[in-house]
């Protein structure tokens, strides 16, 4: 496993992290047994993965609780990020006066006395403009030692730029993958401010595993995709598969494409079993050449930039 700096935080993180949305989460994904979830976290640590991303609403708090249980006795080996705004009861509430209590609840579930970072979880745009007191409260929590860093989880380059301009955020989590490259234009501005970038949804909710086609039927959160969305994705998969190196999977190429950008600190694919976990983590072992990255950029610019896919 290779490691990178998480912006100006002084924290080193594994290039491939562990997206914990699926831990204990039967609400959005197929269910996972608690013991299996804990084993996956332990195996990730054993393989050199040290970055774990969770949130209070993942599995109604179960993701944080299972991660806390798995990290008992091993907290010092892990870098843990959680979020604020989406709550365990599946409600949205970004009232800044609830930040402190939400952080305390996360600390309790995670069985720890600090978070390495906390992210505003896809907040309303006005918060990113700095017109509220959210970042002042986060700064206070940092001074108290409850958190080491803060930022936001967003979906676009415009949101990134607003956050960079109006806050002292040290970390930004952003959706970026082969099919969603718009945020790439803001990477340089983040690097200029030495902000660590965490890339979420790197496999387009599993589509970039290459396992699905236009006839696939989803009963989980991916049921949001309509037929046109499925068809557009399916048409691009063969084009991408032609670019694979011998022995390379589409998952590995998709993650390596993201890690091609040095501005990225870590990428956080999810996993439901040991096989998926190992496939994700081994993506850190090789680099893709610049010409392949440029070809992937070209596919997005020609096929998707003017008519973007919904996530």
Name the helix (H) or strand (E) containing 257.
helix 250-259
Q: What are the structure tokens assigned to 11, written together?
A: 């924290």
Q: Does residue 29 register a pLDDT over 60?
A: no
Name the helix (H) or strand (E) containing 265.
strand 264-267
Region of poorest pLDDT, from 260-264, 292-296, 298-302, 306-310: 306-310
In a 13 Å sphere around the CA of 7, the CA atoms on its Cβ side amount to: 27
Query: Which one of the listed residues 58, 150, 212, 257 is annotated catalytic?
Result: 58
Q: How confident is the model at residue 35 (pLDDT cuts 50, 70, 90)?
A: confident
How far, in Å, CA of 311 to CA of 300, rounded?
14
Q: Does residue 43 register a pLDDT over 70?
A: yes
How far, in Å, CA of 82 to CA of 119, rounded?
6
Predicted structure pTM score: 0.94
What pLDDT score was predicted for residue 308?
87
What pLDDT score was predicted for residue 214?
74
Percent of the chain scoring above 70 in pLDDT: 96
How far, in Å, CA of 151 to CA of 140, rounded?
13
pLDDT in tens, 120-137: 999 999 999 999 999 999
Pick the CATH number of 3-303 from 3.20.20.100, 3.40.50.2020, 3.10.20.600, 3.40.50.150: 3.20.20.100
Residues paired with residue 266 on neighbouring β-strands, in sequence order: 198
Residue spans of beta strands (DSSP E) within 112-175 = 117-121, 150-154, 171-175
pLDDT in tens, 205-243: 888 988 877 777 776 667 777 778 888 888 999 999 999
What pLDDT score was predicted for residue 56?
96
Active site residue 3: no
């Amino acid at each position: 496993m290779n490691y990178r700096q998480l912006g100006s935080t002084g924290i080193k993180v594994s290039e491939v992290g562990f997206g914990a949305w699926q831990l204990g989460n039967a609400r959005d994904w197929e269910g996972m047994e608690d013991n299996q979830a804990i084993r996956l976290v332990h195996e990730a640590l054993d393989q050199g993965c040290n970055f774990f991303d969770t949130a209070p609403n993942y599995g109604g708090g179960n993701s944080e609780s299972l991660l806390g249980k798995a990290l008992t006795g091993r907290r010092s080996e892990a870098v843990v990020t959680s979020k604020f705004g989406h709550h365990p009861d599946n409600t949205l509430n970004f009232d800044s006066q609830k930040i402190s209590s939400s952080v305390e609840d996360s600390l309790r579930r995670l069985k720890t006395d600090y978070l390495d970072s906390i992210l505003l979880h896809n907040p309303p745009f006005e918060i990113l403009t700095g017109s509220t007191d959210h970042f002042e409260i986060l700064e206070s929590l940092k001074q108290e030692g409850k958190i080491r860093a803060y930022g936001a989880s967003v979906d676009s380059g415009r949101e990134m730029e607003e956050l960079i301009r109006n806050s002292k955020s040290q970390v930004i989590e952003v959706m970026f993958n082969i099919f969603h490259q718009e945020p790439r234009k803001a990477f340089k501005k983040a690097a200029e401010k030495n902000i660590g970038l965490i890339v979420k949804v790197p496999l387009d909710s599993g589509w970039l595993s290459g396992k699905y086609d236009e006839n696939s039927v989803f009963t989980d959160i991916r049921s949001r995709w309509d037929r046109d969305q499925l068809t557009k994705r399916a048409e691009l998969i063969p084009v991408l598969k032609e670019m694979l190196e011998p022995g390379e999977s589409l998952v590995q190429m998709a993650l390596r494409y993201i890690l091609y950008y040095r501005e990225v600190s870590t990428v956080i694919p999810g996993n439901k079993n040991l096989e998926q976990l190992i496939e994700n983590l081994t993506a850190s072992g090789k680099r893709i050449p610049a010409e392949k990255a440029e070809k992937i950029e070209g596919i997005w610019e020609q096929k998707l930039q003017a008519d973007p896919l919904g996530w």
